[in-house]
A and B are shown apart, each in its own frame.
Chain A
Amino acid sequence: MSNKIAVQIDDLTVAYNYKPVLWDIDLTIPEGVLMAIVGPNGAGKSTLIKSILNIIKPIAGSIQIYGKPYHKQRSLVAYVPQKGSVDWDFPTTALDVVTMGTYGSLGWIKRPGQKEKKASLEALEKVGMLAFKNRQISQLSGGQQQRIFLARALVQNAAIYFMDEPFQGVDATTEKAIINILKELRKSGKTVIVVHHDLQTVPEYFDWVTFLNVKKIATGPVKDIFNDDNLTKTYGINYKVSVQQ
């Protein structure tokens, strides 16, 4: 972790149909952390990520990526949406989905060429899916689909990675494989931000955590703030999690 700030959010409020789902969020994410966003259903975790990526327009507040607004820093950011947000029956192959990660750096109209194909194949290899490159995406298991999504983010070669529930519906082996790749990303100085559901694994997987429930409850290093007090504040019930350091 360096002293640089990767993401700076000030006074962010987001509403759907005038009903706030995120209320006055201030959040500073330092460079080089592997951070979990935790909170109950409807806490606004996905909305927070989508607002940072400018997919949803906030009604107030500002978001800066390395000191500049998102639309100037797109090339620094990679995004893994929820697996369920796309139609896996779409007529395309694993390799093609990964290649979509290069579309951002290509910009409008330009087609992916040999360079993009090579990068996509390397990303597939990193997630252990090279053998499936020509497989139609509906023929992949849930875990394999998630690996493809991860490969698509890797090919973007970004500085900050946002992932929306990457462990949803994957088996234990895939979960380990994914978390190892995320830890590697952090080791190489990248910032990784993950919407996460399984509170038991937070201390094992992450070094930074943000508690969210419409408002920000707390943010900081896991070892300092991942405690029953914050969990109870976030989830509203008396929460006991044995925190292993």
Chain B
Amino acid sequence: MSSAQIEIQLIASLVAIACAIPGTFLVLRKMALITDAISHSILPGIVIGFFITHDLSSPLLIILAAASGVLTVVLVEFIQKTGLVKEDTAIGLVFPALFSIGIILIAQNANDVHLDVDAVLLGELAFAPFDRLYIRGTDVGPKSLWIIGCIVVITLGLLFTFFKELKISTFDTGLAAALGLSPVIMHYGLMTVASITTVGAFDAVGAILVIALMIAPAATAYLLTNDLKKMLRLAVFFGVSSAIIGYWVAHTLDTSISGSMTTVLGLIFLFVYLFAPNKGLFSVLYRQKQQRIEVSLLTFLLHLGNHKEEDERHVKHLNEHINWQKVQSKSVLDLALKNNMITIDNDIVSLTKKGKKFTTKAIDYIISNKNSEIETMKDRFFLFRG
């Protein structure tokens, strides 16, 4: 690996970390769409900053861009508060307006400089190592590495300092306000961090893909854990892994780095969405199927318990009596037999002692919703888990 390659991967990883942290809170606050808005509407801030400094990595540019990001949030909330339109409409009104101002400013004034719409939208990580920072004539590394490095350090510092405040104002704004832990400050603080991160990441991955880096790792992590700290760690892990894998995919296929990173992110999300242990699609489908069978089993056992007469318990008549498809009654019958809950004698089905006990217990549980007796059954039957 050349030093440029290492630098690119380092920058990409830092961008992923810087995005995953505010992204986690935005996903939990159901504000994913606002990152879309911010990532576009920071453009006028960047353009104006660029006209003043003529330097794409100047701190003034970051400050102005962050200010226009926060302005977006303020405008969205202002329009929303009028009660005339809903939040999504307000977002849809604000960011195209600000973004188009940025586009017009670029088209009018910046035709001859290195700031074009493509670069703004997609970024170009491959060029990042060429723009270097010199301190007293010594080359200390790519400028964007330093910028995003600083943003990561600040973001981590804020996260560790205000973790408790962020958590409570995200979970329960009302209580946070009542306790004096100003959720308004947390809200705008988070928006400022998200805006600054977007500016820092934007040079590397562009305004559109930065949304993916904020939302996808957090959304993936959300499917895998019930613990906020773990969710943050997982989001960072997914972000960094897809940054590095994405780089090598781009290297191998000779294609866009940011595009590959985002594709990898999407694939990781898809994989987790399908196979996550509890919230994944397959696990949910499996659970539903099991529950269906268990409910059928219970219905079946209850029917047996309620009817002494033999014609009600004849294997061939079960279908009509409980009104089931053949396949279903066969699988339920097998399940009950396997668990020694019934015996079949001359095609007449009878409950065993175990079957009787199970039925009474299960019905009791469903009616009283008491937990103590059923705990052992929970491990074997989905029906009794939350």
* Chain A interface residues (CB < 8 Å from chain B): 17, 50, 53-55, 71, 74, 77, 79, 81, 85-87, 90-93, 97, 100, 103-104, 106-112, 131, 136, 138-141, 152, 171
* Docked-complex contact B226 and A91, CB < 8 angstroms: yes
* Docked-complex contact A81 and B175, CB < 8 angstroms: yes
Hey, which chain B residues are within 8 Å of A109, CB to CB? 161-162, 164-165
Residue B28 at the A interface, CB < 8 A? yes
25 CB contacts below 8 A, A to B, read: A17-B81, A71-B180, A77-B178, A79-B174, A79-B175, A81-B174, A81-B175, A87-B28, A87-B30, A87-B171, A90-B170, A92-B171, A93-B226, A100-B167, A100-B168, A100-B175, A103-B168, A103-B179, A103-B181, A104-B181, A106-B164, A109-B161, A109-B164, A110-B164, A141-B369
B contact patch SS:
helix
Hey, which chain B residues are within 8 Å of A74, CB to CB? 178-180
* Docked-complex contact A91 and B172, CB < 8 angstroms: no
Query: Interface code B346-372, partner A: CB below 8 Å = 1, 0 otherwise?
Result: 000000000000000000000001010
Residue B12 at the A interface, CB < 8 A? no
A106 to B231, CA, bound (A): 25
Query: Interface code B28-70, partner A: CB below 8 Å = 1, 0 otherwise?
Result: 1010000000000000000000000000000000000000000
Hey, which chain A residues are within 8 Å of B254, CB to CB? none
A90 to B165, CA, bound (A): 15
Tell me, rounded to whole Å, the shortest Cβ–Cβ distance linking B103 to chain A. Answer: 35
* Chain B interface residues (CB < 8 Å from chain A): 28, 30, 81-83, 161-165, 167-168, 170-172, 174-181, 222, 225-228, 230-231, 369, 371, 386
* Chain A residue nearest to B372 in the complex (CB): A131
Tell me, rounded to whole Å, the shortest Cβ–Cβ distance linking B269 to chain A. Answer: 17
Hey, which chain B residues are within 8 Å of A55, CB to CB? 174, 177-178
* Docked-complex contact A53 and B177, CB < 8 angstroms: yes
Hey, which chain B residues are within 8 Å of A138, CB to CB? 226
* Docked-complex contact A91 and B165, CB < 8 angstroms: no
Tell me, rounded to whole Å, the shortest Cβ–Cβ distance linking B264 to chain A. Answer: 24
A112 to B81, CA, bound (A): 36
* Docked-complex contact B228 and A91, CB < 8 angstroms: yes
Query: Which residue, A17, A50, A86, has most C-beta atoms of chain B within 10 A?
Result: A86
A112 to B164, CA, bound (A): 9
* Docked-complex contact B226 and A92, CB < 8 angstroms: yes
Tell me, rounded to whole Å, the shortest Cβ–Cβ distance linking B64 to chain A. Answer: 29
Tell me, rounded to whole Å, the shortest Cβ–Cβ distance linking B326 to chain A. Answer: 36
Tell me, rounded to whole Å, the shortest Cβ–Cβ distance linking B205 to chain A. Answer: 27
The answer to whether residues A104 and B170 also contact, given A91-B231, A92-B226, A111-B164 and a CB cut-off of 8 A, is no
Tell me, rounded to whole Å, the shortest Cβ–Cβ distance linking A59 to chain B. Answer: 15
Hey, which chain B residues are within 8 Å of A79, CB to CB? 174-175, 178
Hey, which chain A residues are within 8 Å of B226, CB to CB? 91-93, 136, 138
* Chain A residue nearest to B224 in the complex (CB): A91
* Docked-complex contact A93 and B227, CB < 8 angstroms: yes
Query: Which residue, A54, A91, A152, has most C-beta atoms of chain B within 10 A?
Result: A91
Hey, which chain B residues are within 8 Å of A111, CB to CB? 163-164
The answer to whether residues A91 and B181 also contact, given A81-B174, A108-B165, A141-B369 and a CB cut-off of 8 A, is no
* Chain A residue nearest to B162 in the complex (CB): A109
Hey, which chain A residues are within 8 Å of B225, CB to CB? 91
The answer to whether residues A50 and B174 also contact, given A71-B180, A103-B168, A111-B164 and a CB cut-off of 8 A, is yes
* Docked-complex contact A54 and B178, CB < 8 angstroms: yes
Hey, which chain A residues are within 8 Å of B222, CB to CB? 91
A221 to B318, CA, bound (A): 63
* Chain B residue nearest to A131 in the complex (CB): B371
* Docked-complex contact B171 and A139, CB < 8 angstroms: no
A111 to B229, CA, bound (A): 14
Tell me, rounded to whole Å, the shortest Cβ–Cβ distance linking A136 to chain B. Answer: 4
A152 to B178, CA, bound (A): 13
* Docked-complex contact B178 and A91, CB < 8 angstroms: no
The answer to whether residues A90 and B171 also contact, given A106-B164, A136-B226, A139-B386 and a CB cut-off of 8 A, is yes
Hey, which chain A residues are within 8 Å of B175, CB to CB? 79, 81, 100, 152
* Docked-complex contact B164 and A54, CB < 8 angstroms: no
A133 to B170, CA, bound (A): 21
* Docked-complex contact A91 and B227, CB < 8 angstroms: yes
* Docked-complex contact B181 and A108, CB < 8 angstroms: yes
Hey, which chain A residues are within 8 Å of B181, CB to CB? 103-104, 108
A84 to B167, CA, bound (A): 18
A174 to B163, CA, bound (A): 33
Tell me, rounded to whole Å, the shortest Cβ–Cβ distance linking A175 to chain B. Answer: 14
* Chain B residue nearest to A132 in the complex (CB): B371
* Docked-complex contact A85 and B174, CB < 8 angstroms: yes
* Docked-complex contact B177 and A92, CB < 8 angstroms: no
A136 to B228, CA, bound (A): 11
Hey, which chain B residues are within 8 Å of A103, CB to CB? 164-165, 168, 176, 179, 181
Hey, which chain A residues are within 8 Å of B180, CB to CB? 71, 74, 104, 107
Hey, which chain B residues are within 8 Å of A106, CB to CB? 164
Hey, which chain B residues are within 8 Å of A152, CB to CB? 175
The answer to whether residues A90 and B174 also contact, given A103-B164, A103-B168 and a CB cut-off of 8 A, is no
Hey, which chain A residues are within 8 Å of B230, CB to CB? 91
The listed residue (A54, A77, A93, A97) touching B177 by CB distance below 8 A is A54
Hey, which chain B residues are within 8 Å of A92, CB to CB? 167, 171, 226-228
Tell me, rounded to whole Å, the shortest Cβ–Cβ distance linking B231 to chain A. Answer: 5
Tell me, rounded to whole Å, the shortest Cβ–Cβ distance linking A184 to chain B. Answer: 22
A71 to B180, CA, bound (A): 8
* Docked-complex contact B369 and A81, CB < 8 angstroms: no
